[in-house]
Amino acid sequence: MRFDDKVVLVTGGSRGIGREIARAFAARGAIVALHYHRNLDAAQATETLLAGAGHMLVQADIGDPAAIKRMVDAVVGRLGRLDILINNAGIYEERPLTESSYDEWVDYFPRIARVNLYGAANAIYCAAQAMMRQGGGRIVNISSRGAFRGEPKAPAYGASKAGLNSLGQSLAQLLAPHNIFIGAVAPGFVETDMAADLLAQPAGDDIRRQSPLNRVAKPEEVAHVALFLASEGAEFTTGAIVDVNGASYLRS
Cα 10-12-18 angle, rounded to 5 deg = 65
Say whether pLDDT at 195 is over 90.
Answer: no
Nearest to 117 by CA among 150, 143, 145: 143
Distance CA 225, CA 185 (A): 7
pLDDT single digits (tens) 91-110: 999 999 999 999 999 999 99
Percent of the chain with pLDDT over 90: 96
pLDDT single digits (tens) 224-251: 999 999 999 999 999 999 999 999 999 9
Say whether pLDDT at 28 is over 80.
Answer: yes
Q: Which residues pair with 217 in a beta bridge?
A: 190
pLDDT for 97 equals 98
pLDDT single digits (tens) 121-138: 999 999 999 999 999 999
Task: Tell me how far CA of residue 133 lies from CA of 197, 199, 208, in angstroms.
Answer: 45, 45, 45
Selecting among 92, 108, 157, 249, the annotated active-site residue is 157
List Cβ neighbours of 3 (8 Å cut-off, separation of 6 or more). Answer: 25, 28, 29, 30, 83, 84, 227, 230, 231
Burial class (CB in 10 A: 0-12, 13-18, 19+), 216: buried
Whole-structure pTM value = 0.96
For the question of residue 157 being annotated catalytic, the response is: yes
List Cβ neighbours of 213 (8 Å cut-off, separation of 6 or more). Answer: 246, 247
* Residue ranges of domains in the chain: 7-244
Q: What is the mean pLDDT of the chain?
A: 97
Burial class (CB in 10 A: 0-12, 13-18, 19+), 102: exposed
Cα 94-155-34 angle, rounded to 5 deg = 70
Half-sphere exposure (Cβ direction) of 66: Cα atoms closer than 13 Å: 0
CATH 1.20.1340.10 fits 7-244, yes or no: no
Say whether pLDDT at 194 is over 80.
Answer: no
| First and final C-alpha spacing in the chain | 30
